[in-house]
A and B are shown apart, each in its own frame.
Chain A
């Protein structure tokens, strides 16, 4: 396993480093390269595409195991979208489904040792959050015109508290992309760091010899438990992102509550 010198420089942050795989030089002073992050995005998309294409290839009336997995994913998101935003929102199904599958698969791929976790970088999650919020704003104004602003104007509230409620509603709306992106980013980052730190305790205690081996059982058990928790969190983060996207789309479609 690891030698003494390797144990000393366990670096829990190292796994999030961006490395350039193919450098294309600079465009307008900004480095432009195919990085490991981009590589894993491509892998994620390839895995999703292969999974969905191959599993639905048979088109069996009685689905095979894989086909039923793909159908479950479809129905899960379709039901979620219908329940929280109505049947009308089904035109946004491709957006929500793509986001859900991308986050889920990239999180799960990130759980594989030596794989890069895309969502541990806030710029990636923030881009996805802004995609959702921009869609909500543009579609909201397209559909409802100026009536979309009713989102910030709750009915059945006395007029004299409006000067207070409207700014609060606006701040609440502006906080959505922040909370959406920070939640996903922070959970993936913190989870992977915690996992790495506990795993490094095993190596450190193992350096003490026999007594250390006995002690190392504890962080080892913790690492196993944390790995399971991380898999759960991977699912949950994708789920939370998808359901919040549905709720925000609901605001765009029905702005007056």
Chain B
């Protein structure tokens, strides 16, 4: 909170409302934004949004984190579910054995799904493109 004074002073300058998408009706603001985008595209090339080697390395690192933890978590959940099923249903070894294997399969599937999202380029804005189920059978 030490820098509170710094940006308090720096933000003195007042102008027109810049970012107020929440205050306008959704559709109207989107239309205006699109019109402005189109007008700007004619004037100048679109600026690179995501840039720098840090971000890509960060994305790789985050994918590594995701894969490892999702793999382990699925096995854990499968094992615990099997153990609980054995407790409740009295099927002593089998529930845990089978569900642990299913958990292992789920873990592999999680990893493949994460990997699949990285190999396919993100088709911008298209919903459902990032977690397509059929990506995990190759």
Contact = CB atoms under 8 A, between A and B. Distances in A.
Contacts of A65: 7, 10
Given A61-B16, A253-B127, A55 B102 contact: no
30 contacts: A55-B7, A56-B11, A57-B11, A58-B12, A59-B18, A59-B19, A60-B13, A61-B16, A61-B18, A64-B7, A67-B18, A83-B122, A83-B125, A87-B30, A88-B127, A154-B134, A168-B102, A172-B74, A172-B106, A175-B74, A175-B77, A175-B110, A186-B69, A232-B61, A236-B65, A244-B66, A250-B127, A250-B131, A253-B127, A257-B134
Interface residues of B, number: 51
B70 interface: yes
Contacts of A20: none
B14 interface: yes
Interface in B74-92: 74, 76-78, 81
Contacts of B132: 257
Q: Which of B8, B10, B11, B12 has the most CB of A within 10 A?
A: B11
Contacts of B96: none
A56 B19 contact: yes
A197 interface: no
Dominant secondary structure at the B interface: helix
Given A54-B4, A67-B11, A178 B127 contact: no
Given A59-B15, A60-B11, A82-B125, A175 B131 contact: no
A204 B14 CA distance: 55
A167 interface: yes
Q: Which of B66, B77, B102 has the most CB of A within 10 A?
A: B77
Contacts of B125: 82-83, 86-87
Contacts of A116: none
Contacts of B65: 183, 187, 236-237, 240
Contacts of B48: none
A34 interface: no
B17 interface: yes
B1 interface: yes
B78 A171 contact: yes
Given A59-B15, A67-B11, A86-B125, A50 B4 contact: yes
B124 interface: yes
Given A54-B4, A171-B74, A64 B69 contact: no
Interface string B118-135: 000010110110111110
Interface in A217-242: 232, 235-237, 239-240
Given A169-B106, A232-B61, A257-B133, 9 more contacts: A54-B7, A58-B11, A58-B12, A79-B49, A171-B99, A171-B106, A236-B61, A239-B58, A239-B62
B105 interface: yes
A156 interface: yes
B97 interface: no
Contact of B73 (A88, A154, A155, A179): A179
Contacts of A51: 7
Contacts of A60: 11, 13-15, 18
B11 A55 contact: yes
